């Protein structure tokens, strides 16, 4: 590990994290299709995700969206094929990307928040399936 690695401190850092992470996501054999087939405007989507993480890590305002609803809709469009293992791949890629680029309090917070987001999102997806039946 590079000893010069610093913590996440700015929007530029969050942008670097998000861009590197989604580069990996788009190449991942198990989860890339969910993203590639769903997201048609990557520039806009990445900007939204940067705002999302700025809100989560620094309390910034400016994020506008409903990630739970969006993920439920993606799951429905893939005929309820999203599984907990897919979230496992997502979180592993996130942790690896954070660890490659950053270390410190905000880096740890980014991993903790991502773990919680993955868990809650999958549970909401699962609950929505039961509500439909």
For 109, the token pair is 């917070």
What's the confidence (pLDDT) of residue 62?
Answer: 84
Is residue 92 within 8 Å of 30, Cβ to Cβ?
Answer: no
What's the confidence (pLDDT) of residue 131?
Answer: 74
State the first-to-last Cα distance of the chain, in angstroms, to the nearest integer: 49
Q: Where are the domains of the chain?
A: 11-132
Task: Indicate the pLDDT class of residue 118, thresholds 50, 70 and 90.
Answer: very high
What's the confidence (pLDDT) of residue 2?
Answer: 54
- Tell which CATH classification among 1.10.490.10, 1.10.630.10, 1.10.260.40, 3.30.70.1230 matches the domain 11-132: 1.10.490.10
DSSP code string of 63-113: ----HHHHHHHHHHHTTT---HHHHHHHHHHHHHHHHHHB-SHHHHHHHHH
Q: Alpha-carbon Rg of the chain, whole angstroms?
A: 15
How far apart (Å, rounded) are the C-alpha atoms in residues 133 and 130?
Answer: 5
* Tens-digit pLDDT profile for residues 43-100: 999 999 999 999 999 999 988 899 999 999 999 999 999 999 999 999 999 999 999 9
Q: Output the average pLDDT for the chain.
A: 95
Task: Indicate the pLDDT class of residue 133, thresholds 50, 70 and 90.
Answer: low
How far apart (Å, rounded) are the C-alpha atoms in residues 85 and 4?
Answer: 33
């Amino acid at each position: 590990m590079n000893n010069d690695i610093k913590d996440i401190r700015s929007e530029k850092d969050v942008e670097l994290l998000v861009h590197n992470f989604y580069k990996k996501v788009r190449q991942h054999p198990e989860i890339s299709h969910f993203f590639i087939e769903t997201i048609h405007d990557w520039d806009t989507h990445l900007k939204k995700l940067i705002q999302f993480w700025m809100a989560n890590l620094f309390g910034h305002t400016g994020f506008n969206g409903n990630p739970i609803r969006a993920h439920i809709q993606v799951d429905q469009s893939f005929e309820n094929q999203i599984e907990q293992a897919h979230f496992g791949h997502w979180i592993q890629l996130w942790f690896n990307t954070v660890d490659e680029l950053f270390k410190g309090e905000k880096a740890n917070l980014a991993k903790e928040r991502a773990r919680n987001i993955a868990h809650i999102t999958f549970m909401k997806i699962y609950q929505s399936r039961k509500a439909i039946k």
